[in-house]
Chain A
C-alpha cells in the first residue's frame, strides 16, 4: 500500500527486527498497542492469525464469541468501560459482514474499535472467490477509516495508523482487511506507533477569543442550561466539567451517552434530556437564555422538532468535531477542541453563581414529574412489577457503583432514567444506532475490561434473544456478569408506539418466549425468575452477591409505557407525562 502520509513515526521498541510472517506481525502489533483481550471468530481467511494467537496465548487473550456481531459489541463494551481501544477479529465474507452492525454502532457512538478481517488471497480479489466480500467497500460509510492490506510488510504501519485513528480526536471504528497472502508472507518486522497523519487534525486548537465570548454569554445569562454528552467522558474531562458547573452553578442535563460523567446525585445534575428524558430539562430547554452544549451533537432524539428547539436561547457549543458545529443547531459561539482543555481554560473566565431561582424552576417541574411518573415507576402500588422498581432495587444493592449495560427499548429508557451512577463510564448502551442485541455481548466485554466492577446487563426479552448465543461465551470464559431480563412478553417500545400512535394494532410485537431459566441453566448460569414484588429485593440481592454469572428474569407488567415522552415531531416543551 502506498502510504505517504504516515511519516516519521517514532520507535517505541528496542528495534527488534525479526523475520516473521504477516500473521505473527498482526499479533505482535496488537501486543505492541497494549491489547490484552480481543474478541472474534475464526475462519478460513484468518486462520494464520489464529495459529499465531494460539502460540501467543499467554500474552494476548482471544475470546471466542458465538457470533461476529457479539465480538464487535463485546469489543465496544470493553472500550466503553475502559477508555481503551476494543479489538474484534473475523474471517472474510460472512464473518466480516457480521461485524457491520457493531461497527456502525461504534461509529455513531464514537467508540474506538479496531476490527481486523481476513480476506481471500490477493490474486483472487474481484473473482467472486469463496467467502470473498468487498468488506472495505461495505464498511466505508460506517468506519472512521478503513484499509485493505495485500502485502505483509505493510501490516505494522497500517495497524499503527489504525489504532491512532481509532482513539484520537473523536474516536471511532477502523477496519483493516488483510489478504491471506499478506498473512502468510514473511518480512522483517519492526513496530513504531503512529504519532500523526498530515491530512488528519484530530484535535482542533482551542480559540481563546471564542472562549472569552462563551464565558461572556455564560456570565451574563440569567437562565443558563448545560447539556453535556459523551464528549465529557471521551475527553476524560469529568473533573474539569464538574469544576465548571460547580463554579457557575448552572443546571446541567445529560444526553443518554453523557450519563455517569458526574454522579447522578450531584445537586447540579438536573437529569436527562431527550425523548424519554426528564420533564424539567426538556421543558426548560425552551426557556433558558443560554444553552451550553458540551460534547454532544444535538441528535434528533434530544432536540425533537428542531424548528422549535431552544429558539429563544443563545447557543454555545463545545465540540471536538468541526462537522458537528451548526449541523443541527445553529450556534452563536462554537469552541472547537478537546473538552478537557477547553473547560480548563473556561473555568477562570467564569463568574461564581448559584442561579437559585432558576434551579427552583427545575425542582418544581421535577416534583410534577415525580408525582405523575417517577413515584409510580419506582414505588408502584399496583400489582404488576414495574421496570423502575427493579432499577431501584439494583441501585440499593449496588450502591450506585455498578456499571449498567442496557440494550434498546423501554428497559433502556427506564435504566437510563433510574440507574444511579457514582462513577464515570458506568452507563454503557447503544445510543445512536439503537442496536437491539447490544447489551449481552457488551456486558461481557465490559466485565472483562473491568473485572473489579459489578457489571449488570439490563435487557428486554426481545433484545436478549437477538444475541442470546453469547451465553456460550459467558460459560466458556466464566465471565461473572449479571444479566437482568425485564420480560414483558412484548417488544415493549414498539408496542407503546402502536398503542399511542397506531390505535393499539399490535403488529408483530407480542413475543412467545422460551423458558429463559432453563436456557440459562443449560449454560450452567445460576438463574432465578421473579414474578412477585415480595421476592424482588432478595432476588436482586442474591444476584449482586453471587460470585459467578447470574441470570435474573423479572416478569414485569405487560403493557406499561415509558413516560415522559416527546412524540416524534413534537417540540421538547410538548413533552407528555402520560
Chain B
C-alpha cells in the first residue's frame, strides 16, 4: 500500500449526540494528524448527521483511522474518498469597502469573471460570496487583496460522492 500522502475526504454518518466530536477529534490528535477542515451538517437521512473531514494521509494510515472512527458506538458508517471520487466545494465571504466598488472598475470585472455573488451592499461595505474549489477561492483572494479586504472567511470542504452511499439501506437492516 502506498505510503505517499494524499488528500482524503472523510464522510462520517453519525447519530446526533453530545461529545462525539470530542471522541472523533481525539482519534486524530492521538496520532498527530492535523485536520485540514471539518464540517458537520444534516444529511439526507432524518436525524443523522454527516461530517466531512479533510486530511492529508497515506492510504494505509487512512484505513486505520477509518477503522478507529467506525469503532465509535455512535458512528453509523465512515467512508474515505480521493478528490477524484467526489464533487466538493468550499464557500467563502469577503467584506470590502463599498467605495472600491465604484472607484475601482477592475473589481466589478473580477466579481463577474469569478462568478462571485454580492450578498449585501451598504454605504460602508459590501459582502461577496464565492463557492468553488480551493484554488478558485485563493485566486479571488489574491486578486481582491490588492484593493484591501476588511474581512475574509472560508468554510470547510463539503463533498458529495460520485458513488451512492447506502446508509438508508444499512439503517433499514437494523430491525430490533
Decide if A326 touches B64 in the complex (CB within 8 Å): yes
Given contacts A5-B74, A141-B30, A198-B76, contact A148 B18 (CB under 8 A): yes
Q: How far is the CA of A522 from the CA of B23 in the complex (A)?
A: 45
Given contacts A136-B19, A137-B22, A148-B18, contact A199 B64 (CB under 8 A): no
Chain B nearest Cβ from A90, distance in angstroms:
19
Given contacts A5-B74, A8-B176, contact A140 B14 (CB under 8 A): no
Decide if B17 touches A2 in the complex (CB within 8 Å): yes
Q: How far is the CA of A327 from the CA of B67 in the complex (A)?
A: 9
Chain B's closest residue to A146 (CB) is B19
Decide if B23 touches A140 in the complex (CB within 8 Å): yes
Neighbour of B71 across the interface among A9, A137, A148, A321, CB < 8 A: A321
B63: Cβ under 8 A from any A Cβ: yes
A472: Cβ under 8 A from any B Cβ: no
Decide if A7 touches B73 in the complex (CB within 8 Å): no
Chain A, residues 1-44, CB within 8 Å of chain B (1/0): the string is 11111011100000000000000000000000000000000000
Residues of B within 8 A of A144 (CB): 73
Chain A nearest Cβ from B51, distance in angstroms:
13
Chain A nearest Cβ from B70, distance in angstroms:
7
Q: How far is the CA of A165 from the CA of B67 in the complex (A)?
A: 18
B75: Cβ under 8 A from any A Cβ: yes
Decide if A198 touches B30 in the complex (CB within 8 Å): no
Q: Tell me which of A3, A8, A140, A321 has the highest count of chain B C-beta atoms within 10 A of its own C-beta.
A: A140
> Which residues of chain A from 198 to 226 have any CB-CB distance to chain B below 8 Å in the complex?
198-200
Decide if B15 touches A4 in the complex (CB within 8 Å): yes
Judged by DSSP, the binding face of A is: loop
> Which residues of chain B from 9 to 53 have any CB-CB distance to chain A below 8 Å in the complex?
14-19, 22-23, 26, 30, 47
Chain A interface residue number, banded: 20 to 34
B171: Cβ under 8 A from any A Cβ: yes
Decide if A327 touches B64 in the complex (CB within 8 Å): yes
B102: Cβ under 8 A from any A Cβ: no
Given contacts A2-B16, A4-B47, contact A197 B30 (CB under 8 A): no
Residues of A within 8 A of B63 (CB): 326
Decide if A323 touches B64 in the complex (CB within 8 Å): yes
Given contacts A5-B15, A327-B67, contact A195 B73 (CB under 8 A): no
Judged by DSSP, the binding face of B is: mixed
Decide if A195 touches B67 in the complex (CB within 8 Å): no
Q: How far is the CA of A196 from the CA of B22 in the complex (A)?
A: 24
Chain B nearest Cβ from A129, distance in angstroms:
19
Chain B's closest residue to A198 (CB) is B174
> Which residues of chain A from 312 to 350 have any CB-CB distance to chain B below 8 Å in the complex?
321-327
Decide if B176 touches A195 in the complex (CB within 8 Å): yes
Chain B nearest Cβ from A402, distance in angstroms:
35
Decide if B18 touches A199 in the complex (CB within 8 Å): no
Chain B's closest residue to A165 (CB) is B73
Decide if B67 touches A140 in the complex (CB within 8 Å): no
Q: How far is the CA of A528 from the CA of B72 in the complex (A)?
A: 49
Decide if B176 touches A196 in the complex (CB within 8 Å): yes
B6: Cβ under 8 A from any A Cβ: no
Chain B nearest Cβ from A137, distance in angstroms:
6
Residues of B within 8 A of A8 (CB): 176
Chain A nearest Cβ from B69, distance in angstroms:
9
Q: Tell me which of B14, B23, B176 has the highest count of chain A C-beta atoms within 10 A of its own C-beta.
A: B176
Q: How far is the CA of A146 from the CA of B19 in the complex (A)?
A: 9
A145: Cβ under 8 A from any B Cβ: yes
Chain A nearest Cβ from B104, distance in angstroms:
48
B114: Cβ under 8 A from any A Cβ: no
Q: How far is the CA of A137 from the CA of B29 in the complex (A)?
A: 14
Chain B nearest Cβ from A390, distance in angstroms:
39
Chain B's closest residue to A202 (CB) is B73
> Which residues of chain B from 109 to 149 have any CB-CB distance to chain A below 8 Å in the complex?
none
Chain A nearest Cβ from B14, distance in angstroms:
7
B98: Cβ under 8 A from any A Cβ: no
Report, nearest first, the 10 A-B pairs whose CB atoms are least far apart. A323-B67, A196-B176, A198-B174, A199-B76, A145-B73, A323-B71, A200-B73, A141-B26, A195-B176, A5-B15
- 6 of the cross-chain contacts (CB-CB < 8 Å) are A2-B16, A4-B16, A148-B18, A197-B73, A323-B68, A323-B71
